[in-house]
């Protein structure tokens, strides 16, 4: 009888253990599409006399707000990496080549500036695939046992591997900033996109006059929307421009790289008001979460295109 009772107890215990959720283990590393770029790249600690890294070169006004979202730090990059502003807002994971004093996870950064914006002396002679990091970002590279060791040094650098990863913004939609060179009376419009999630590049932008919010619904077929395409100029490829913008309010649509091709995104409402102001930032209401296959290249950041899985 005792043996039977013991068997029943063990059976009940086994059933309960199967029905309970498994104990949480250490969170697995995120699965990213891009392999590590192993060509020679360096992360420099921003010198104390070089000022601070702001988001001015990429249109971001509040560096603290940007850096706090999803654990990303801000970084400046060399000219070859920056590509005239095309790298603005791209996110990367960095890890030290020498793992002894550095964490396996490394640091996650979002590009908000080029090294000329922070100071040419911030990283000495900078070329190739180079990153300039704040003290907090530099310290994030260290392991728990060496916490603050790298971040406490001055004028130091470490060799790093890097890979592009998706950007994640919990509290922000894709936003658009009206650049100061815009003049709505003359039809000149210049835009820069901020808080672009996912791992994509914007490759086309168009604007059109939006229907007034209080416009009466007509039974007749609506007239076709007259979209005006925008272009990017060499040397300022992060800014989209047109000299034929209609009077506002304006709606937007854009193409982002996604998968192995492209994808149209269109705001369901007017994004830019009739009285849009240069320097103002407007919410598009769109969230970008796609990952594009062609954003993994290492060639634009370093002298070679070495990549490991």
**103, 178: one domain:** no
Nearest to 247, CA basis, from 270, 230, 263: 270
CA 156 to chain centre: 26
**Collapsing DSSP states into helix, strand and coil, what is residue 240?**
strand
**156, 42: one domain:** yes
**121, 158: one domain:** yes
The three state secondary structure string of 54-122 is CCHHHCCCCHHHHHHHHHCEEEEECHHHHHHHCCCCCEEEEEECCHHHECCCCEEEEEEEEHHHHCCCC
Residue 7 inside a domain? The answer is no
What's 50's domain CATH number? 2.40.40.10
**201, 128: one domain:** no
**185, 80: one domain:** no
pLDDT score, position 265? 93
Nearest to 103, CA basis, from 147, 133, 64: 147
Query: Residue 7 to residues 18, 19, 20, 214: CA-CA distances in angstroms?
Result: 17, 19, 20, 75
**Collapsing DSSP states into helix, strand and coil, what is residue 201?**
coil
**140, 185: one domain:** no
Residues of the domain holding 236: 174-212+225-290
Residue 13 inside a domain? The answer is no
Residue 206 inside a domain? The answer is yes
210's CB contacts (< 8 A; 6+ apart) are: 248, 249, 250, 251, 269, 270, 271
**158, 245: one domain:** no
**159, 44: one domain:** yes
Give dist(CA 32, CA 30) in Å, integer.
6
What one-character-per-residue DSSP string does 248-298 give? SSEEEEEEEEEBTEEEEEE-SS--B-TT--TT-EEEEEE----BBGGG---
| CB of 170 closer than 8 Å to CB of 69 | yes
**150, 72: one domain:** yes
- Output the tens digit of pLDDT for each of the chain's 309 residues: 444 433 443 343 333 333 333 333 333 445 677 888 887 788 887 776 666 777 778 888 765 566 556 688 888 888 878 888 888 888 999 988 877 767 778 889 988 888 765 544 444 444 446 888 888 888 888 765 454 555 455 447 788 889 999 998 888 899 999 999 999 889 999 999 999 989 888 999 999 999 765 554 444 444 557 899 999 887 676 899 999 999 989 999 999 987 778 889 998 889 999 999 999 999 999 998 888 877 777 755 544 444 554
pLDDT score, position 292? 83
Q: Count of CB atoms within 10 A of residue 25's CB?
A: 6
pLDDT score, position 66? 62
**Cα radius of gyration rounded to whole Å, the chain:** 24
Count of domains for the chain? 2
**161, 299: one domain:** yes
Residue 14 inside a domain? The answer is no
**155, 200: one domain:** no
Residue 140 inside a domain? The answer is yes
């Amino acid at each position: 009888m005792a043996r039977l009772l013991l068997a029943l107890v063990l059976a009940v215990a086994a059933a309960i253990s199967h029905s309970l959720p498994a104990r949480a283990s250490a969170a697995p590393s995120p699965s990213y599409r891009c392999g590590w770029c192993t060509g020679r790249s360096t992360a420099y600690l921003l010198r104390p006399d070089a000022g601070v890294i702001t988001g001015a070169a990429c249109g971001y006004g509040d560096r603290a707000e940007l850096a706090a979202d999803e654990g990303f730090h801000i970084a400046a990059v060399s000219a070859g990496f920056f590509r005239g502003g095309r790298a603005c807002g791209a996110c990367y994971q960095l890890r030290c080549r020498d793992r002894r004093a550095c964490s396996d996870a490394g640091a996650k950064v979002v590009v908000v500036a080029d090294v000329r914006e922070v100071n040419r002396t911030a990283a000495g002679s900078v070329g190739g695939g180079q990153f300039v990091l704040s003290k907090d970002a530099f310290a994030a590279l260290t392991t728990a046992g060496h916490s603050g060791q790298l971040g406490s040094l001055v004028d130091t650098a470490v060799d790093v591997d890097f890979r592009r990863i998706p950007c994640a913004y919990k509290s922000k939609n894709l936003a658009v900033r009206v650049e100061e060179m815009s003049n709505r009376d003359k039809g000149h419009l210049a835009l820069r996109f901020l808080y672009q999630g996912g791992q994509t590049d914007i490759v086309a932008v168009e604007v059109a006059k939006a229907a007034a919010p209080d416009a009466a619904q007509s039974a007749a077929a609506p007239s076709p929307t007259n979209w005006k395409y925008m272009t990017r100029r060499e040397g300022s490829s992060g800014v989209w421009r047109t000299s034929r913008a209609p009077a506002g309010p304006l709606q937007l649509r854009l193409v982002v790289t996604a998968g192995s091709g492209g994808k149209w995104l269109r705001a369901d409402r007017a994004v830019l008001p009739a009285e849009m102001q240069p320097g103002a930032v407007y919410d598009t209401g769109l969230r970008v979460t796609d990952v594009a296959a062609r954003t993994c290249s290492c060639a634009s950041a370093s002298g070679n295109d070495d990549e490991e899985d």
